[in-house]
Every structure is written in structure tokens, then in C-alpha cells.
Structure 1
Amino acid sequence: MMWDLLLPCGLALAVLLAVLFAFADTDFLLALYEKFGKDCGSLSGKVVWITGASSGIGEHIAYCLAKSGCRLVLTARRVEELERVKQACISQGPNSAALEKNILVLPLDVVHFHKHREAVQTVLEHFGQIDILVNNAARGQFAEWIKVELDVDRELFETNVLGPVSLSQEVVPHMIKRGGGQIVVTSSMAGKMGLPGARSYTGSKHAIHGYFESLRTEMAGKNIEVTLICPGPTFSQLYLTAATERLGETLGLRMEKTQKRMSTSRCAYLSCVAMANQVSEAWIMQQPVLLTAYIIQYAPVLGRWLLKKFGPKQVQKIREGK
């Protein structure tokens, strides 16, 4: 009698989970935190430093955190764009007068490693603390593997890997001294699987995981959390500024509104939920990319076979939002 009840209940639960997963745009753990965990408002009052804050995901993370009452440091190369984001944050925040003095615009190119220590001191002089560092600045790259100049790999590695590593290395000692903090890094689905036509970008995102997983292990017991954010196809300016196979060349393409991509604001919001709940790693991507990430993570042999079976052209279409 018990089995007669358990079997249909189990089947019904399996069907329900399958339906929910079919429409999911994040991994199961982050989905649970979104529904039942801490909301972004729990970050209110914290000092959050965001690199790559002048556009894309970084810009929208700034908006989300401004609404949540955070004190912000906005960093990128373009001062005029940072000022634009600051004014937009002020208009969206709960207290415009307070936000005016609680948002610091700090122009910085992340590959200017010699300026990182000075930048950290500037933030500390202004706010007295750094609670969360969001390493979001990065550059894309698209070209055939065999055509890429090695100098392009070096350039992407400096921007996407050594920039975040160097800045974090200057911030972490302060966090240890204060008794805690959080390092957040915007990685990518490219950090979990081998994307065709993006060797420099994919390699740099895989490297990010190695560096910051190492940091996570070393910080055990020091109350320093590390959160890796892995977005899938998301609307941004990634194609506009992306490198190609030749050093100094830019792809210069804009994403089309008709493409199948996650909205920038949704990706940013889920990233902030991951921060608030100190998630170790968050997958923020629509189907079928999310399913692919699960297969690659938990059944890598099957995942690699599927990628070979369907071929790079199909993977390319998914990455391009087609």
C-alpha cells in the first residue's frame, strides 16, 4: 500500500522538477536562495567595489546594489561613463542625498598593476573599509583557434586573469585584518566548458577558476568568502570590445535584441543574490546552456561526447544567442 502511494508521488515530483528545470535560468542552489535565502537588501551599508562598472553586467550590478543601500566604488577606464552610471545609481537609490557621497568614482585600468595598491588606499581613505570586491572587468575574444596570435592570449590573460588577481591580492590583506570580506569574480560559462572560436577568452576564464579556487582554500578559517559567477549568453558590450586573432584588432559588433540572451538586469540581480548568500559558484544561464553546464560538470565524458557529436557550429549558435 505504501509503495502504491510513494510511486505516483515520486513520479509527480520528478515531473515537477523537470518542468521547473526546463524554465530555469540558474542552478538549483541559487534558485533556492533566490526564493528562500537572503535578498539583496541584506547587503545594505556594505562597501562594494565593482570593476568594469561602466557598462554591461557591472553597470547593472551597481544599479541593483544602489537600490539595496550599498556604498559603491565604481571602477573602469572611461570616467564619463562611470559618472553616467553614478548619476543613474543616485536616481534609483532610496536616498539620493546619501548616495551622492556614498558612491566613489575611481577610474582605473585593471592592467595597470602598479596602480592597484594606490587605488586600494584611495578607497580606504574614502570609506575606511572594503567589504566586497567584484572583479567584473574583462574582455571577450573570438577567432579560430589556429589563427590567434600568441600576443592576443597574453593580452587577454593580463586583463581577465592577472588584473583581478593583482587587485584581489591588494584587497585581501585588508579584509583579513578586518576579520572578513568577500571576493567576487565574474567568470563565464566559458570557465566550465571549452567554447569553440574563443580560445583566449575560454582559457582566461578557466584560469580564473584555478586562481580563485586556490584563494578560497587558503582563506578557509579567515572568514574570506570567494564567489565565482558564471553567466551564459547575456546582453552586454562583449562583442563590441572583443579581441580577434590579431593584437590591436577589435570585433566591433553589437548584440541584436532578437537574440536569445538573458537580460543584463536579470543576470546582475542573480549575481547580487549570489553575493548576498555567499554562494561559492553560481551558474546564471538559460536553457539549453544550463543543461549543458550540468552535463559537463557531472558527466564530463558524456558532455565532451555531446559537444563533439553536435559539433562546434551548434555550440557557436548557442553562444551567439541563435
Structure 2
Amino acid sequence: MSLKNKIVWITGASSGIGKSLAIHLSQQNTKLILSSRNELSLNEVRNLCLNKQDVYILSLDLENYSNFEAKVEEAISFFGTVDILVNNGGISQRSLAAETDISVDKRLMNINYLGTIALTKALLPYFIRKKSGHFVVTTSIVGKIGTPLRSTYAATKHALHGFFDSLRAEIHQYNIKVTLICPGFVTTNVSKNALTGDGTPQEKMDTATANGIDPDRFAKIMSKGISQQKEEMYIAGAKEKLGVYAKRFYPKLLSKMIRKLSVT
């Protein structure tokens, strides 16, 4: 399926994967709606896009998910429709479970899970009425495998897999697609912005993240997966992909490997 002239709404579009995806899709003559909390950064991304007249800014805070029906109406008003929603917004974690305040757990769940499904549910009736649509969700390899220092982050991503796998079966009859994109390490600020046990940002980049996939390359691969309407896609290094298959076929071996990972 060509993405040319499709109307794509991207959350978390002010930086990282969302930013790179927006720029890449604009080069395919895709019409874009860009959302995040940071309107200034969104405008900077818009200025980097091709055909800026086909890019609209819609500020949105996933943590404040009580008014998403109004946001959906506003998004539809820009181009008269929405074809694809890329649920890309979220926040990570770097802290031991025993040292993480429950308020941090709640915030991660509110942003990564509840905010994402609230926006999805707000748009879903429109997709059902027009009998077409596509939900794309940026989850994570840790949505398949839990690793140290990411207990609640992993839980939010596992939850997204459960919800969207179920949703895919429920809405198949309406010609609505669901694609789960599972990144490994990508060179973005995700680790710098990750919450520590008391809720403050880590403010440093992990070595693995610094050595991860370039976000522009990631966006090209992701775009292809979206156009092919894949159900699930792993965009990660060989070791991370191997971990997914080890979890399925050799879970005890993977558990031993994960226990050896650094927790400091």
C-alpha cells in the first residue's frame, strides 16, 4: 500500500523516532498531523518536512487523556479525514523495581498505556464508520522481554501488545489494521529522558542507546512496515532479535542471560 497522500497522525513527533518518521513520510508526499506536548519542537520538525503546507501541528499530552474526543475532531478537521494513527509517544524508565516510587509506575502507565489506548479509542468509532483505518503502535523489544531497570516500562509495553492484539481481532471486520513496531536500541534521547526511581529524568545516554540504530534508518524501515501493513515488526540488532526467539523457545536460557545484565 502506497502512503502517498495518506493522512498520518503521529504522536511523540517532536523528537526521536517520531521526528525522523515525520520527515521521511513527508518525502513520500504523505500529509501529516504532528502531536506532542512541545509545540515549539513540533514546529521545528514541521520546518524540516517537505511540503510544509501539508503538515499540521496538534499539541497533545498523553498523560491528560480526558479530552481526546475533541483532539480527534480537531485532527479530522485539518484534512477531512485520518487514515493512519501512529501511537509513538511515550517515556522510558531506568530504575530498580524496589527503588521505584509507585507514583512513577502510575505515570509510566498513564502515558505509555492509558494515554495511548485512550487516543485509540477516541479515534476508533471514526475508523469503524468509514470501514477503514490503520493503528500503528511503537512498542519495544521489552514489550516481549523484560530486562533490568525497566520493570514498569516493560509492563506498559507488554500491556500494549495485549490490548492491540485483542483489538486487531475485534476490528478485522471493519478493514482496520493494527501494526506493532518493536524497536531495539535506537540513538535517540529516550534514555536521557527516562524516569529514575523518584521520577526525575536520568539525563544521560546509555551506552547501548548511543550505539543503537540511527533514527533516520529506523524510520525508513518502519515506513516500509507500515505500508506493508505488517502485524508485528522487530527493528533491532541481531542480539535483541535473538532474545525474542530465545524467550519463545528457550525461556530458561534467556532468564540466565538477562540475570547477567548490568543493574547499575
TM bucket (normalised to shorter chain) is over 0.9
Unaligned runs of at least 5 residues, structure 1 = 1-37, 94-98
Equivalent residue runs for 1:3-22 within 5 Å: none
What corresponds to 1:60 in structure 2? 20
Equivalent residue runs for 1:142-221 within 5 Å: 142-221=94-173
Partner SS, residue 221 of structure 1: helix
Give the AA of the match of 1:185: V
Match of 1:50 among 4, 10, 13: 10
Give the AA of the match of 1:128: G
Bigger radius of gyration, 1 or 2? Answer: 1
The percentage of counterpart residues that share the same residue type is 33
User: Is it true that 1:77 corresponds to 2:37 in the alignment?
Assistant: yes
What corresponds to 1:279 in structure 2? 230
64 and 185 in structure 1: CA distance in 2 versus 1, 3 angstrom threshold: same
Query: How far apart in 2 are the matches of 1:259 and 1:121?
Result: 39
Query: How far apart in 1 are the matches of 2:71 and 2:223?
Result: 24
What corresponds to 1:253 in structure 2? 204
**Contact 1:237-1:255 within 8 A present in 2 as well:** no
What corresponds to 1:114 in structure 2? 66
Query: How far apart in 1 are the matches of 2:119 and 2:255?
Result: 38
Give the AA of the match of 1:309: K
Query: How far apart in 2 are the matches of 1:281 and 1:258?
Result: 22
Shift of 1:115: 2.4
User: Is it true that 1:129 corresponds to 2:81 in the alignment?
Assistant: yes
User: Is it true that 1:312 corresponds to 2:259 in the alignment?
Assistant: yes
Query: How far apart in 2 are the matches of 1:308 and 1:164?
Result: 29
Partner SS, residue 45 of structure 2: helix
Query: How far apart in 2 are the matches of 1:244 and 1:129?
Result: 39
Partner SS, residue 50 of structure 1: strand
Q: Which moved more, 1:117-126 or 1:275-284?
A: 117-126
Partner SS, residue 178 of structure 2: strand
More helix by share: 1
Give the AA of the match of 2:223: C
Q: Residues 268-307 of structure 1: CA distance to partner in whole angstroms, max 9, x if unpaired?
A: 111111110000000110111111112223x1xx1x3223
**Contact 1:186-1:230 within 8 A present in 2 as well:** yes
- Size of the aligned set, in residue pairs, is 264
Query: How far apart in 2 are the matches of 1:278 and 1:207?
Result: 21
**Contact 1:236-1:255 within 8 A present in 2 as well:** no
